[in-house]
C-alpha cells in the first residue's frame, strides 16, 4: 500500500505534481474519432467546436495496419488544431497490446501539454492504474510536460467490475470511469451481440390472471446495465471522480440511445460517448438539466433557506436531502451555463 502522505507527490523526478481534485469541466459527450480515417480527421476542428470532449481513438475500431497511422495522425491533429476549451482525450491501446508503450511514449512526449486525459481500456485492477501512473510520470518528466495528465478507465471485464472501487481510488490521476458494455458482455459470457443498450429477451412478465399462461400478460424489458452503472457511479462518487455511460452502438436507433443515456444521467453519470455525429446532440440534450428541473431546483433552494426544516411545495415535502439534490442540479446547470450561452439564457441563472 502507498504511503497516504505521498499520494500527491510526483512519481518521477521532474514530473508535475498530481491534482488534488478532478477539475470539473462540461463532459456531456466524449466524441470518438479515428485519427487514421482522413474523412473523420478532416471534420475534427468543426466537431471539436460542438462537443465537450473530443477523443482520438487508437484502440478497438482502428484496424491493425492503421495503428501507427492513427497515433501519428493524432499527434499531427493535436499540434495544428486549437481546441479552445474543448478537452482533448486519447484512448490508447490496451496494456497487453504491442502498441500501448509506443502510444504513451509518443503522445506524452509530443503532445503531452495538449492532452487532458488518457483513457485506458480493459482496466482490471489498481495494478493497471499504478503501472500507467508511474510510466506517465516518467514520460511527463522526459517531455517536460507542465500539467499532469489525468487517467480514465474503461470498465469492460468481469474482473474490472469486481475491482471497481480500488480502480477508482488507485491514483490522484483518476478522472473517471466509463462502462464498456461490449467487451464486458463478452468477458461475462453474456449471450448478447450488441454494443450497449437493452435486449428484448431480458424482461419480466406480468402474473397470469387465469389458467391461460399466454394471454394478456404484459412484458417489461429490463435494463441489462443497471447493476454495473450503479456500482460504477458509487465507486466514482465515493472517490470524487466522474462516471460516464459508454457507447451505444445502434447508431440509427436515436430513440433508444436517448433512453439509455437518460437512464445513466438519472443514475449519476455526467456524460456518454458519441460514436457518430448524430449522437452528439442526444448527449447534449440528455446530460443538460431541463429548464423545468432547474426552475424547480431554484424554487426549492429559495424556499429552504439554510436547508433545515421541512416545507411543502406543490403537495410535496421538501427537506435538507431534497434540497441537496436540487443543489446538485443547480451546480451542474451553472457550470454548463458558464460555457453555453443558450443554456445560460434558458436557465436564467
Ligand atoms: C459507426 C461508423 C463506422 C459509421 O460510419 P459511416 O461512415 O458508415 O457512417 P455515415 O452515417 O455514412 O457517416 C456520415 C458522415 O459522418 C462521418 N462520421 C461518422 N462517424 C464519425 C465520427 N465518429 N466522427 C466524425 N465524423 C464521423 C463519416 O465520415 C461521414 O462523412 P461524409 O459525409 O464526409 O462521408 C463510424 O461512425 C465510426 O467509426 N464511429 C466510431 C466508432 C468507434 O470509435 N468505435 C469504438 C468505440 S465503442 C467501443 O470501443 C466499445 C467498448 C467501449 O470498447 C466496449 O464496449 O467494449
Ligand atoms: Mg472495448
pLDDT at residue 91, as a whole number: 99
Distance CA 256, CA 252 (A): 9
Phi-psi region of 205 (alpha: psi -120 to 50; beta: other; left: phi over 0): beta
Is 57 touching ligand 1 by the criterion CB < 6 Å? yes
Identify the CATH number of the domain in which residue 156 sits.
3.20.20.60
pLDDT at residue 307, as a whole number: 86
Is 39 touching ligand 1 by the criterion CB < 6 Å? yes
Residue that is last in its domain, among 287, 313, 331: 287
Distance CA 338, CA 31 (A): 21
Give the structural domain span for 47. Answer: 4-287
- Which of these, 124, 131, 179, 205, lies nearest to 157 by C-alpha position? 124
**Which atom of ligand 1 is nearest the CA belonging to 247?**
48
pLDDT at residue 306, as a whole number: 87
Is 35 touching ligand 1 by the criterion CB < 6 Å? no
Same domain, 157 and 244: yes
Same domain, 240 and 218: yes
Same domain, 258 and 138: yes
Same domain, 222 and 317: no
Phi, psi of 12 (to 5 degrees): -150, 145
Same domain, 321 and 200: no
C-alpha cell at 77: 491533429
- Smallest CA separation from ligand 1 atom 44, residue: 32
Residue that is last in its domain, among 246, 270, 287: 287
pLDDT average per 10 residues of sequence, the chain (349 residues): 90 97 94 97 96 98 98 98 97 98 98 98 98 98 98 98 98 98 98 96 95 94 97 98 98 98 98 98 98 97 92 94 96 95 94
Provide the whole-model pTM.
Answer: 0.97
CA–centroid distance, residue 181 to ligand 2 (Å): 7
CA–centroid distance, residue 182 to ligand 2 (Å): 6
- Pocket probe for ligand 1: among 40, 66, 197, 232, the residue whose CB has the most ligand atoms within 8 Å is 40
- Smallest CA separation from ligand 1 atom 26, residue: 40
Beta strand 219-221 with 203-205 is: antiparallel
Amino acid at each position: 500500500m502507498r504511503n497516504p502522505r505521498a499520494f500527491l507527490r510526483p512519481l518521477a523526478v521532474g514530473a508535475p505534481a498530481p491534482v488534488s481534485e478532478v477539475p470539473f469541466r462540461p463532459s456531456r459527450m466524449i466524441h470518438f474519432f479515428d485519427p487514421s480515417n482522413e474523412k473523420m480527421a478532416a471534420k475534427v476542428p468543426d466537431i471539436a467546436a460542438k462537443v465537450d470532449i473530443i477523443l482520438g481513438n487508437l484502440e478497438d475500431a482502428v484496424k491493425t495496419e492503421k495503428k501507427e497511422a492513427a497515433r501519428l495522425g493524432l499527434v499531427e491533429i493535436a499540434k495544428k488544431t486549437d481546441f479552445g476549451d474543448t478537452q482533448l482525450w486519447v484512448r490508447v491501446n490496451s496494456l497487453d497490446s504491442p502498441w500501448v508503450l509506443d502510444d504513451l511514449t509518443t503522445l506524452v512526449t509530443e503532445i503531452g501539454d495538449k492532452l487532458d486525459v488518457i483513457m485506458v481500456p480493459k482496466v482490471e485492477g489498481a495494478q493497471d492504474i499504478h503501472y500507467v501512473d508511474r510510466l506517465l510520470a516518467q514520460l511527463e518528466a522526459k517531455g517536460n510536460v507542465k500539467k499532469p495528465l489525468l487517467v480514465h478507465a474503461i470498465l469492460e471485464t468481469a474482473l474490472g467490475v469486481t475491482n471497481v472501487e480500488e480502480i477508482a481510488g488507485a491514483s490522484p490521476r483518476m478522472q473517471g470511469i466509463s462502462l464498456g458494455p461490449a467487451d464486458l458482455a463478452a468477458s461475462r459470457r453474456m449471450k448478447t451481440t450488441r454494443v450497449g443498450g437493452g435486449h428484448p429477451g431480458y424482461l419480466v412478465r406480468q402474473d397470469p390472471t387465469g389458467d391461460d399462461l399466454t394471454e394478456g400478460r404484459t412484458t417489461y424489458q429490463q435494463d441489462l446495465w443497471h447493476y454495473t452503472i450503479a456500482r460504477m457511479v458509487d465507486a466514482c462518487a465515493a472517490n470524487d471522480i466522474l462516471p460516464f455511460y459508454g457507447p451505444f452502438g445502434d447508431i440509427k436507433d436515436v430513440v433508444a440511445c436517448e433512453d439509455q443515456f437518460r437512464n445513466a444521467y438519472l443514475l449519476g453519470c455526467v456524460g456518454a460517448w458519441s460514436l457518430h455525429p448524430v449522437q452528439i446532440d442526444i448527449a447534449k440534450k440528455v446530460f443538460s438539466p431541463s429548464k423545468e428541473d432547474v426552475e424547480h431546483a431554484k424554487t426549492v433552494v429559495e424556499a429552504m433557506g439554510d436547508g433545515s426544516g421541512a416545507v411543502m411545495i406543490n403537495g410535496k415535502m421538501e427537506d435538507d436531502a431534497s434540497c441537496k439534490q436540487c443543489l446538485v442540479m443547480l451546480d451542474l446547470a451553472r457550470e454548463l451555463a458558464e460555457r453555453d450561452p443558450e443554456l445560460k439564457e434558458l436557465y436564467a441563472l
